[in-house]
């Protein structure tokens, strides 16, 4: 699932899609409502449609189409994405858990209110724009809880892999921490990989190779595709907060 959400997937060579195909998976990239490149009307059809609205319904409908066409096995569908796509992954795992065997969330927000509260003052115009796009999570606590996956983790039925950069200025580490810790505390299967020298995605090739290696092992375990034996590449900075003995009590929100 692409990020943004004001972005789009394009026709042409895509390394991630090619990687998945090489490992034996059909890869479906959806330009859901709210994606760019299809006119202003289509773009604004995503307004206030995060998580439980039309943007996520388009992903669910695409899964149903792929199953109906015989492209996908209903019992072996994974949702994978970064940034907004990571949020969509968390939303898919919580709001439509029956659709997905597993999920991979890369730098995705888990609580929209804490996401917006972490925006620095000099990004204030961006924050105001996001409120118009998402909805008023500042004054409507019930709405925020309705669209924030953090408050619905009890619905998750399948394993989740989370990747996060500790220096992410857009989606802070706390967004990954709070959902990973809450899931672990409830005994819900989750793997969490944190890279101390990364931001909003993987800038260092060695860390990209590291997380991709972990991802394909995760997918092979839950979907049955191919994977190379994983060996942590030299120079990778991967850390595992869930294994930190001092992490107890760090869950950010009551869920």
Q: Residue 222's closest CA among 97, 80, 78?
A: 78
The three-class DSSP label of residue 133 is: helix
d(CA 101, CA 115): 27
Q: How many CB atoms lie within 10 A of CB 228?
A: 11
Please identify which residue in the block is written with the tokens 């009590």: 249
Task: Give all strands of the β-sheet with 190-195 in edge-to-edge order.
Answer: 78-82, 102-106, 160-165, 190-195
Backbone angles phi, psi at 88, to 5 degrees: -60, -35
Is 2 tagged catalytic?
no
Active-site option among 35, 83, 110, 118: 83
Catalytic, out of 58, 105, 168, 177: 168
Query: Do residues 90 and 210 touch, judged by C-beta distance below 8 A?
Result: no
Q: Any catalytic annotation for residue 168?
A: yes
Q: Where are the alpha helices (DSSP H) in the chain?
A: 15-22, 40-44, 54-68, 84-95, 112-117, 124-134, 141-147, 173-185, 205-223
Q: Please state, in angstroms and rounded to a whole number, the distance separating the CA atoms of residues 211 and 196.
A: 13
Phi and psi at 22, nearest 5°, equal: -60, -30
Q: Is 60 a catalytic residue?
A: no
Instruction: For residue 120, count CB atoms less than 10 angstroms from its CB and return exposed for 0-12, middle for 13-18, buried for 19 or more.
Output: exposed
Per annotation, catalytic residue among 9, 47, 185, 200: 200
- Residues catalogued as catalytic: 83, 168, 200
């Amino acid at each position: 699932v692409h990020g943004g959400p004001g972005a789009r997937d394009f026709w042409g060579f895509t390394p991630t899609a090619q990687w998945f195909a090489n490992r034996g998976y059909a890869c479906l990239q959806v330009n859901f409502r709210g994606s760019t490149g299809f006119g202003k009307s289509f773009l604004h059809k995503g307004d206030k449609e995060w998580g439980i609205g039309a943007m996520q319904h388009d992903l669910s409908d695409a899964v149903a189409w792929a199953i109906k066409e015989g492209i996908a096995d209903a019992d072996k569908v994974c949702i994978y994405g970064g940034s907004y796509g990571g949020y969509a992954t968390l939303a898919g795992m919580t709001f439509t858990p029956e659709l997905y065997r597993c999920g991979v969330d890369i730098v995705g927000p888990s609580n929209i209110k804490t996401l917006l509260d972490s925006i620095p003052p000099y990004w204030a115009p961006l924050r105001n724009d996001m409120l118009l796009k998402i909805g008023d999570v500042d004054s409507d606590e019930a709405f925020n809880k309705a669209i924030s996956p953090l408050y619905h983790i009890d619905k998750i039925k399948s394993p989740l892999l989370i990747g996060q950069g500790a220096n992410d200025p857009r989606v802070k580490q706390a967004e990954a921490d709070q959902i990973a810790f809450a899931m672990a505390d409830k005994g819900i299967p989750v793997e969490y990989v944190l890279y101390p020298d990364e931001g909003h995605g993987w800038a260092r090739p060695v860390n990209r190779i590291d997380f991709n290696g972990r991802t394909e092992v995760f997918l092979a375990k839950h979907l049955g595709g191919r994977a190379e034996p994983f060996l942590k590449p030299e120079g990778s900075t991967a850390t595992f907060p869930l294994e930190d003995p001092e992490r107890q009590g760090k869950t950010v929100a009551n869920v």
